[in-house]
């Protein structure tokens, strides 16, 4: 089969690899029909995720059709159409039993990281019963690709950890796919205001269409002053970090009101200053989280009932065999006005 293979920082190739087979009785092999590229794949290609080794097939998102299942898989059979979760979870360890699939002792985020991933014609999925979801008949399958990672990430790490409530004022720093997924899912709770902050005018325009009540381009406006002006000097109830750089986490600390919440989503490669000299008395909480994907079934229902329309996040389509070109577009998201790209293998 063909697959997108990592060959060290800056190097990748679309090349021939052996087709995966069932190795454990709990495995399934899935023929990929649609996959996508994540900001995290770009982090890997920059060399930021050193556990990814030469020869690894990248990708941790996608939908497909089951080709083969191991003897212990009971919930799926060959021919079933499935959503692949970016988190593989055994369902049996203490972390899984507590709903913290991301820290599964036998899995977690392994796809396209520690084992071969989804940017390929076929992928092996460990613990298939707990890591795949059935696609309801008649679904818009490319919209469901957004359920592999970005929607549960925005919802769990941003909205749920930030405890967004009706009437809240929320600031989301970063209007990439993750920040926009946070913007969409925050609206389940009817916050009064959602302020999106980014450096890219196009993404801020998109944010307005997706329900942001205010947008701030922090490249040419003082975001702290503007947020204070919009909140009668108080700051926001919830500040969500969806970038993964020090400046945006520091900005969240400046924006949060007394009693508020800072919810970090971004993957940070460098240490960040924590301003306890001002925050110690402010009754705030700070949360961090690796997406658990425990909310995938709930989010799937909201997509089916059209309360959530994730296809809005898709800007580009390519054939899977054109993945090198798709990476080029996705890596120049500003220039290309790209959000999520869909790679088709049908």
Ligand X SMILES: NC(=O)c1ccc[n+]([C@@H]2O[C@H](COP(=O)([O-])OP(=O)(O)OC[C@H]3O[C@@H](n4cnc5c(N)ncnc54)[C@H](O)[C@@H]3O)[C@@H](O)[C@H]2O)c1
Total length of the chain = 346
Q: 93 is in the binding site of which of Zn ion, ligand X, none (Cβ under 5 to 8 A by kind)?
A: Zn ion
Residue 200 touching ligand X (CB under 6 A): yes
Site for Zn ion contains 151 (CB under 5 A): no
> Is residue 265 near Zn ion by the rule CB under 5 A?
no
SS3 content of the chain, % helix, strand, coil (to 5): 30, 25, 45
Please choose which of ligand X, Zn ion, none residue 4 contacts, taking the beta carbon within 5 to 8 angstroms, the exact cut-off set by kind: none
Q: How far is the C-alpha of 238 from the C-alpha of 192, rounded, in Å? A: 12
Q: Which of 4, 29, 173, 194 binds ligand X (CB under 6 A)?
A: 173
19: exposed, middle or buried (Cβ count in 10 Å: 0-12, 13-18, 19+): middle
By CB atoms closer than 10 A (0-12, 13-18, 19+), residue 53 is exposed
Determine, following the binding rule CB under 6 A, whether residue 272 of this chain makes contact with ligand X: no
Beta-sheet strands, E only, within 39-118: 62-69, 81-84
The answer to whether residue 120 forms part of the interface with ligand X (CB under 6 A) is: no
State which residue, 197 or 341, has the beta carbon closest to ligand X: 197
Element (H, E) at 255: helix 246-255
Decide: is 90 part of the binding site for Zn ion (CB under 5 A).
yes
Taking CB within 5 to 8 Å according to partner kind, which of Zn ion, ligand X, none is near residue 310?
none
Quick one: which segment of 59-67, 199-207, 273-281, 320-328 binds ligand X (CB under 6 A)? 199-207
> Pick from ligand X, Zn ion, none: which does 96 bind, CB < 5 to 8 A by kind?
Zn ion
**Binding of ligand X by 218 (CB under 6 A):** yes
Binding part of the chain for Zn ion, among 12-20, 90-98, 169-177, 260-268 by CB under 5 A, reads 90-98
Closer residue to Zn ion in complex, CB, 94/321:
94
How far apart (Å, rounded) are the C-alpha atoms in residues 45 and 24? 29
Interacting positions 127-156 with ligand X (CB under 6 A): 149, 153
Give one DSSP letter per residue of 308-339, joined into a string.
--GGGGEEEEEEGGGHHHHHHHHHTHHHHT-S
| Backbone CA torsion sign across 221, 222, 223, 229 | negative
Tokens of 57: 């097939």
| Cα–Cα distance list, 164 to 41, 283, 334 (Å) | 29, 16, 29
The residue from 31, 33, 39, 186 that contacts ligand X (CB under 6 A) is: 39
Residue with tokens 């990929």: 32
CB 60 within 8 A of CB 118: yes
Print the binding letters for residues 92-131 with Zn ion: x by CB under 5 A, - otherwise: -x--x-------x---------------------------
Q: Is residue 158 at the binding interface for ligand X, with CB under 6 A as the rule?
A: no
Q: Is 254 in the site for ligand X (CB under 6 A)?
A: no
Q: Give the binding site for Zn ion (CB under 5 A).
A: 38, 40, 90, 93, 96, 104, 149
Q: Give the binding site for ligand X (CB under 6 A).
A: 39-40, 43, 149, 153, 157, 173-179, 197-200, 203, 218, 242-245, 247-248, 265-267, 289-291, 333
């Amino acid at each position: 089969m063909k697959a997108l293979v990592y060959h060290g920082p800056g190097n990748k190739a679309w090349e021939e690899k052996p087709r995966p087979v069932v190795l454990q009785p709990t495995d399934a092999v899935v023929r990929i029909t649609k996959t996508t590229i994540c900001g995290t794949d770009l982090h890997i290609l920059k060399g930021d995720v050193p556990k990814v080794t030469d020869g690894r097939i990248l990708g941790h998102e996608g939908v497909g059709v089951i080709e083969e299942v191991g003897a212990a898989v009971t919930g799926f059979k060959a021919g079933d159409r499935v959503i692949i979760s970016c988190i593989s979870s055994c369902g049996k360890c203490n972390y899984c039993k507590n709903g913290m699939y991301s820290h599964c002792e036998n899995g977690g985020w392994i796809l396209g990281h520690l084992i071969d991933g989804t940017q390929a014609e076929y992928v092996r999925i460990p613990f298939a019963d707990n890591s795949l979801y059935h696609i309801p008949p008649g679904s818009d399958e490319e919209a469901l690709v957004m359920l592999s990672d970005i929607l549960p990430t925005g919802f769990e790490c941003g909205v749920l950890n930030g405890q967004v409530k009706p009437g809240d004022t929320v600031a989301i720093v970063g209007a990439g796919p993750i920040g926009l997924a946070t913007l969409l899912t925050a609206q389940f709770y009817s916050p009064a205001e959602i302020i999106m902050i980014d450096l890219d005018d196009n993404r801020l325009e998109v944010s307005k269409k997706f329900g942001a009540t205010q947008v701030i381009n922090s490249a040419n406006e003082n975001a702290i002053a503007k947020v204070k002006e919009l909140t009668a000097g108080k700051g926001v109830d919830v500040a969500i970090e969806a970038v993964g750089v020090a400046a945006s986490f520091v900005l969240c600390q400046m924006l949060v009101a007394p009693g508020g919440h800072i919810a970090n989503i971004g993957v940070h490669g460098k240490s960040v200053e924590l301003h306890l000299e001002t925050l110690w008395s402010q009754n705030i909480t700070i949360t961090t989280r690796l997406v658990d994907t425990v909310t995938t079934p709930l989010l799937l229902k909201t997509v089916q009932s059209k309360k959530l329309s994730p296809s809005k996040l898709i800007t580009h389509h390519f054939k899977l065999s054109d993945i090198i070109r798709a990476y080029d577009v996705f890596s120049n998201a500003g220039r290309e006005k790209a959000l999520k790209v869909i790679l088709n293998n049908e």
